Every structure is written in structure tokens, then in C-alpha cells.
Amino acid sequence: MPQPLQGITVIDATHVMAGPFCTHLLRLLGARVIKIERPDEGDVMRHYDRDPKYAEMAPPFMAFNAGKESITLNFKSPQAIEIIQRLAAKSDVLIENYRPGVMNRLGLGYESLSAINPRLVYCSVTGFGQSGPLRDNPAYDHIVQGVCGVMELTGEPGSGPTKVGFPMIDTFTGYSAAFATMAALLQRAQSGRGQFIDVAMLDNALVLMSSMVVPFLTTGIAPEKVGNRGFNGSPTSDTFKASDMSLTLGANTQKQFEQLCSVLGCAEIAGDARFVNAAKRIANADALHAALMPHLRKKPAREWEKLLNAAGVPAGAVRSVPDVLAEPHLQTRNLVLPLTPSTQGHTGYGLGLGFRLQDNNLEQLGAPPLLGEHTRPVLSELGYSSNEIDALQQAGVV
Amino acid sequence: MPQPLQGITVIDATHVMAGPFCTHLLRLLGARVIKIERPDEGDVMRHYDRDPKYAEMAPPFMAFNAGKESITLNFKSPQAIEIIQRLAAKSDVLIENYRPGVMNRLGLGYESLSAINPRLVYCSVTGFGQSGPLRDNPAYDHIVQGVCGVMELTGEPGSGPTKVGFPMIDTFTGYSAAFATMAALLQRAQSGRGQFIDVAMLDNALVLMSSMVVPFLTTGIAPEKVGNRGFNGSPTSDTFKASDMSLTLGANTQKQFEQLCSVLGCAEIAGDARFVNAAKRIANADALHAALMPHLRKKPAREWEKLLNAAGVPAGAVRSVPDVLAEPHLQTRNLVLPLTPSTQGHTGYGLGLGFRLQDNNLEQLGAPPLLGEHTRPVLSELGYSSNEIDALQQAGVV
């Protein structure tokens, strides 16, 4: 069966994280992605901890750009603008993540390109969106983490601002941009027309945080830091120390709580008057933790994980990234995939989609492109002769 | 223009968070969503901090289920199974988030329903997926946070496991399931066939954490906690105290660093031999922080935010959820939307999509359904007579 985006061509005028992650997802669904890079150094993400083993490419760059084609273009040249216009005439989607107004000033805004190709879906990814007083602010993931409220929700009550330990908003915003692009392609299938999509990191951060944002909108009660406690608020939905490492428990219901005590070998705690129902357990949370702790310390976290899950009590040993990637479970998930082996013989790896689509079974991610590797063939497809391409190269346009 | 999913009917056999969030997104794109609930109490999320002002519905339930139709069905009854089968024959999508195997045992698995309707897209959302040794483990968001590695990445180096302060994996997994469903609908437009989709919270957590997971896969170097420092690792991409509250800075490049010192009124720091280039700033990070601190404490965070952003240095005052929602900026983003006013006259609110699709402009989210509010009309559409529906009600089937 053809992949979902088979036959779709995407112009990828993005750099670093959210934008390239968006086009990476479109690529995994079968789109052809033509990545536009600066002739001098290309996407700056090529160089984050770049590795001589991989032709000077950084591993995350490789994984997020595998299977894309790279062409170089110097946007300061009018000839480069013409190349994008010719490409836009033959493409389905353009994704860009420059600051608001930049593409317009170059003559590459939605109005200009949709005049050339009304079927073009045009998606702009920015920190704060195309409107509003913050629109011109530059943004990195951790800046938006500061602005969106998550740093005041993470960590123990009373702790200072705490950042989520990875660029959550970059990745999620890229995901959202890919989702929006697919929605616009579905709409185009009915209407025959493309459209403009405005994707902002701040908006997406708030959507990801919906379960904290939405109750506040309606009730006016501000959400607060709860440390490691689960959404349900039960004191037995929290993190505890086992004999070796930490363990998360999710004993929310009365039955789960009773099972927890039974598996831990302390059924008497379930019968204790201070802990007999959910309200009492919340009121006596510290005493309950103190009562459970010595029992939890009797076995290693992974042993509790097995025993408790088998008894219907959600439990998980707290793993590091290397720990979880070593789980035999993941080998069944088709999630960790090799890039195409590089010419140097060093294999890089990346991740596939977070879902398994029966008819889109991926076995590898493709080769990450060298800077400008596809300039010549792509320009040739657009009708440029070999002599013309040489001249563009000599003039520093490509 | 019709909405992207206009004409698409979704059977929503989900509860609590990831599943209902998925169908919420499909609903915002124009799908008709028929939510199946237990006759006795319905989706347990109805009751989390339920509010008498809103017909005993919890505010997050309201926002995630606005505009859906609710029908009650007791899956223990064979007649209920027949109702789902009749519904599946006329629907495009089914989303479910029971544990692996449950729908199969009910006769509602993909094989059974695709035999009735080969065009059906069938998406199963679980904690750990349909395969592998962990597949039967029950999961809540905070359990998967423990397992996926994020708790060992968040917080200051040396701190214990730290949970992201909101159910990030629930929401993201719902998002991913909606994305996968759209991909399958695009594929169906070409092939005429539906397919089975396996969506797991753990897989999605790792995809969201791609920028930490992927470099490790290729290099074998484990990612570590970096506190509030940005992805770039620069000591001036971090959180600092201003005179009133905290401020995130994103001075990554040499130019941004020099601009930072200039705006702070301490240009001499940029000239200090210990801080003249990125490598030296990393080596002397503590001294640099100490040098900058007294300057940053001279003005309030929001004033620095304005001055620094104007000078091209990314900066954001660290806001709480109420703070960010009070920003005039958000009023331009069409993100916070009212539900349809309830019959009690109390307006609830929710969030729209994290992107602005020019041709899918939402103005409200619709009414959250009362438990079973649409049982009668939906069954009537399926051909059940009024007498038959009465009988089903009396028998406790609906």
C-alpha cells in the first residue's frame, strides 16, 4: 500500500528543532522532503556535537533529517528566490520557521507563493505565532518553558522554577505542525486549495499542558506543584525508594491500595483506621508514606514492578534513558531504527513514529543528507541546465 | 470550506485522558464523535473534582469532551456488542483505550469489526502497546514517566527522580493517536481500506524525548540532568533571578552574549578574559553566573524580557499558568475558547488546537454531553425503534 503522504513534496525551509522534526514526521509518512540550507554552514544543528565518524554531522541532526534531500540556497540572491518559486510551483507543502515577516520580506510569504500555486499548504512555525505583542520575540525551547508555566508546575512544592529535562516544546510543536499540515492536506483533497497555518510554540505548550490549563480557565483555581504525585492526587500514586532504585506507584483506587498492601506483605496497613478510605489516606499521607517505606525497601524496584503489575497495581521502576532503551520490550516495538549505513560504515540510529500504522511499516530511516548533496539533481528537475547550475554555484547562489 | 474531518464519524470507546484527548482533537477538526460510556457512572474523568455548577461534570472532562455525543452501553450485554457492531458498520474510525485483549474478548477487536466494515480505521491506545513483555502492565501517565527516563533527566544534577509537573505523556499520546488516525484516513483515501493502529504511551514518550534519546542511540553517551540550562548548554542559557521573579535567558551565540552584557550595563563582563568565547564561558560558568547576578537583580523580570528581546537576546519571565493566561498576547491567538454555555448559565472554557488553520477557525468548543444524553437519537439512527430502546434501557443494556 502507498504510504500516507506518498507523492507529496515538502519544501523544508526550517532549521534546528521544531521545523526539522515536523518535516521528519512527514518524511516518515512517505513525503519527499527537500531541505533548504545556507550554502556556508547549513542548518546549525548539523554542528551540535558533530562527529567526525559521521561526516561531521551531529547525531540528532542525522536522525531528524534522515531521508531528506539537501539543497543549498543563499536567500540574499534574487536567483535563489526564483528557485524557491519554481520549486513551490511543483510542491504541495512548505514549512518554514523563520521569525514572523522574514519570508514575506524575501518575497516568499504565503501570499506570493499561493499566487504561484494555490494548492500549496504553507506552514509557519514560530515561538509566539504571527500575531500579538510577543510575536517578534526570539524563542528557544527553554525560554518558552519559562513563559508557559511548566517551570512553576514541575518539582516539589516550594522548589524554584524547574525545567522539563528535554526540549519538550520543540518536539511537540514540530509534531503539531505535521498534524496541522495533514489536516490541511485533507481539506485540500476536498477544496482543491492550500492554506496558511500559523503554529506557535507557546500555544502548543499550553495545549500539551491542557489538563492543568483547562481546569484553571473554568474554575480560576491555580494549579500547583505536586512533586512526583500522579494526576489523581492519591498518596500511593507517587515515587518511593525500593531496595536499589526508585519506583513509581499508581495505587489510585481502594482495590489497588488494598492489593498494594497485600503484595508488600503489610495487609494490616490497609486495615489501619487512618488509611481506610481515599480521603483519610490524603489526610494522613505522611504517616502512610512512613508506614509503607520499610516494606518497599525490602525488594528491588524491578521485582516490585513485576509483582505489583501482576496484581493489578500500576508500578514502574524509575529508569534512565539507557535503562529503558535496553528493555527487551522495546525490541518488539519497531521504534528504534537504523539510518541507512553511512559511507564510512558507521551506523547511526533514530526513532520511528510513536505509533505503529499497520500499512506504514518502517525498517530504516534513510541517509542523512550531506550539505547540498541534492542541489544539482533538484535544480536539474526544475529545468536548470548543467551550465546554469555551474554558474549559480560560481555566483554563490547555491 | 468544510472542516478537515467533516463527514467522518468516530466511535470513541475511551476514558480518562489520552483517548478522550485524541477524539477531542478529531472533533475540533470536524469529526462527529460518539462517546461510549458505562451506564452506571460513565467515564471516570467526569468525576475528578466534579462541580455542581456544571451538572456534576469535572472541568477538564468538560473541555476534553465538548461537542461529543454520549451514549451509554453495558459491554457485558450481547445486545450492547451488537449496537457497537451496527455503529461500526456506519463509522469511519474507532478509538479505544482498554488494555490489550479486552476488545478482542468482547468480539469488538479489529478483526471482527473490519470484517463488518473494511474501511474502518481502528486505533488502540495503551500504556505499553500490543506487543512485548510489558504489554499487560496497567499504566498511568506518572508510571510511564518513571519508566521512560524523563524523571532522571529533569531537575538539577544529583536531584532525585523528578516528574514533569503535568500529564505530558497522556496528552502527547492522544495527540499522536489523532495524528496516526489522520495518516490512516489519508491512506484510506487512496486504498479504500482502513487499518489497525497500535499507539503506546511509552513509545510516544520516547519520541517526544527524541532529542535526548537519539544521540544516545548513536553515540552511547548517556544524557544527563542539566537543571534549567537550555539544550545548547551555554551558561547564559539558563534561569536567573531578576529583582522580582525568575527569568530565562537564551544567550547562545557570541553576539547574543555581548548584547546581553550590553543591555545589562556590564559590557566589561563580555571583555573579561574568562568569558571571551563559548568554551571559556562553559569552563568558567560559576564565575560568569556570579558576575551577572547582581546586574540581573537590578530590574524586574518583565522589564528585562522587553529590553533583551528588543536587543535580540531571547528572554522570558518565568510565569505561572495564571500569569501566562493573563497575557494580552493570548487574546490574539484564538486559543482559549468557551464551551457552549451550559443550561445552568455557567460558562466553561477549554483550549482549541495548538495551531491556527486558516480554514478551520473555531469560535467555541460545543457542549459537554451529559451521561447518555445521545443514547436515544444515536440508537434511533441505527434503526432501533422507540420501543426497542425502552426495552434496552429497562434491561440495563444502555
Q: Domain for residue B231, yes or no?
A: no
Q: Is residue B235 part of a domain?
A: no
Is A1 inside a domain boundary? no
pLDDT in tens, A223-249: 999 999 998 889 999 999 999 999 999
**DSSP type of residue B99:** P
- Is the minimum CB–CB distance between B326 and chain A shorter than 8 Å? no
Residue pair A5/A93 in contact (Cβ under 8 Å)? The answer is no
Which residue among B3, B172, B309 sits closest to A137, beta carbon to beta carbon? B309
Q: What is the CATH number of the domain that holds A258?
A: 3.30.1540.10
The pTM assigned to this predicted structure is 0.97
B221 with B230: CB under 8 angstroms? no
Question: Chain B residues with CB inside 8 Å of A177's CB?
Answer: 355
User: Domain ends where: A262, A292, A317?
Assistant: A317
Output the pLDDT for position A341: 60
What's B171's domain CATH number? 3.40.50.10540
Task: Decide if B76 contacts A231 (C-beta within 8 A).
Answer: no
Assess whether A198 and A305 both reside in one domain.
Answer: no
Instruction: Say if CB B324 and CB A147 are below 8 A apart.
Output: yes
Residue B92 is among the residues annotated as catalytic for this protein: no
Q: Do B168 and A164 lie within an 8 Å CB cutoff? A: yes
Residue A214 lies in a domain: no
Tell whether A218 is covered by a domain.
no
Q: How far is CA A84 from the centre of its chain?
A: 27
- Both B368 and B269 in one domain: the answer is no
Shared domain for A60 and A191, answered yes or no, is: yes
* Rounded Cα distance, B167 and A226, in Å: 12
What does the alpha-carbon distance between residue B258 and residue A327 come to, in Å, rounded to a whole number? Answer: 46
Mean pLDDT of A382-389: 98
Give CA–CA dist B348/B51, Å, rounded: 11
Q: What is the CA radius of gyration of chain A?
A: 26
A254, A288, A317 - which closes a domain: A317
Give the distance from residue B274's alpha carbon to the nearest chain A alpha carbon, in angstroms. Answer: 22
The pLDDT value recorded for residue A84 is: 98
Which set of grid coordinates corresponds to residue A322?
A: 539507557
pLDDT in tens, B286-338: 999 999 999 999 999 999 999 999 999 999 999 999 999 999 999 999 999 99
Q: Residue B346: what pLDDT?
A: 67
Least confident of A54-58, B200-204, B226-230: A54-58
Cβ separation B214–A332 shorter than 8 A:
no
A167 shares its domain with A296: no
Q: How far apart are CA A201 and CA A148, in angstroms?
A: 9
The answer to whether position A376 is within a domain reads yes
d(CA A338, CA A351): 8
A234 vs B: CB within 8 A: no
Handedness of CA A22, A24, A28, A29 (dihedral sign): positive
- Single-letter residue type at B292: L
Query: What does the pLDDT average to over A179-186?
Result: 97
User: Which is catalytic among the residues A92, A141, A170, A238?
Assistant: A170
Is A90 inside any structural domain? Answer: yes
Among B62, B136, B206, the residue with its CB nearest the CB of A218 is B62
* Same-domain check for residues A277 and A364: no
Residue type for B162, please?
A: T
User: With an 8 Å Cβ cutoff, is A327 touching chain B?
Assistant: yes
Cβ distance of B165 and A212 shorter than 8 Å = yes
d(CA A85, CA A87): 5
- Is the same domain home to B194 and B339? yes
User: Are B44 and B140 in a shared domain?
Assistant: yes
Report if residue B227 sits inside a domain.
no
How many angstroms separate the Cα of B249 from the Cα of each of A141, A173, B313?
11, 20, 7
DSSP string computed for A273-329: GGGSSHHHHHHTHHHHHHHHHHHHTTS-HHHHHHHHHHTT--EEE---HHHHHT-HH
The answer to whether the Cβ–Cβ distance between A182 and B186 falls below 8 Å is yes
Domain shared by B313 and B343, yes or no: no
By the 8 A CB rule, do B228 and A162 touch?
yes
- CA dihedral defined by B323, B324, B327, B329, rounded to 10 degrees? 170
Local structure of A98: helix, strand or coil:
coil
Q: Tens of pLDDT along A39-98?
A: 999 999 998 877 777 778 899 999 999 999 999 999 999 999 999 999 999 999 999 999
Would the CA dihedral through A107, A111, A117, A123 be positive or negative?
positive
Q: What is the number of domains present in chain B?
A: 2
Interface contact flag, B187 A228, Cβ < 8 Å: no
A86 and A33 in one domain? Answer: yes
Q: Which chain A residues are Cβ-neighbours of B164 within 8 angstroms?
A: 150, 154, 164, 168
Nearest to B164 by CA among A174, A209, A236: A209
> Which grid coordinates belong to B108?
469488538
Answer whether A111 touches B (CB < 8 Å). no
Strand ranges inside chain A, DSSP E: 9-13, 32-37, 69-72, 93-96, 121-126, 196-200, 239-241, 246-249, 315-317, 336-338, 349-351, 355-357
DSSP state of A57: B
Domain co-membership, B13 together with B123: yes
- Domain with A65 in it: 9-208+333-394
Instruction: Please report residues of B whose CB lies closer than 8 A to that of A353.
Output: 176, 180, 207
* A161:B203 CB<8 A: no
**B151 and B181, same structural domain?**
yes
The minimal CB distance from A140 to the residues B1, B250, B335 is found for: B250
Give the pLDDT confidence of B150-167 residue by residue, as tens digits.
999 999 999 999 999 999
Q: Clarify whether residues A307 and A349 are in a common domain.
A: no
Of B274, B289, B317, at which residue does a domain stop? B317
**Interface ipTM:** 0.97
